Amino acid sequence: MKILVPLDGSKFSEAIIDPAGNLAASSGAEVHLISVVKVSDVHSSCYELPGRGTFR
């Protein structure tokens, strides 16, 4: 089992890291952290995803 924890830099999102770790420890799961940003926070006006094209 894998547990995905999205983090947006807020205290609320960071508060879930310990409970997710506890859940993983008790269930044998892996914890994966992912940083989530708004597209408007990206410094470029467009970006390219390999195999998916260019997005604005």
Per-run averaged pLDDT (10 residues), the chain, 56 residues: 92 94 96 83 60 58
pLDDT of 40 reads 65
pLDDT of 23 reads 96
How far apart (Å, rounded) are the C-alpha atoms in residues 42 and 19? 30
pLDDT of 9 reads 87
pLDDT of 32 reads 95
Task: Indicate the pTM of the whole model.
Answer: 0.63
Domain ranges of the chain: 2-55
Handedness of CA 17, 18, 20, 24 (dihedral sign): positive
Coil vs helix vs strand at 21: helix
Cβ neighbours of residue 33 closer than 8 Å, sequence gap 6 or more: 5, 7, 17
Residue keyed to tokens 């799961």: 29
Which amino acid, residue 20? A
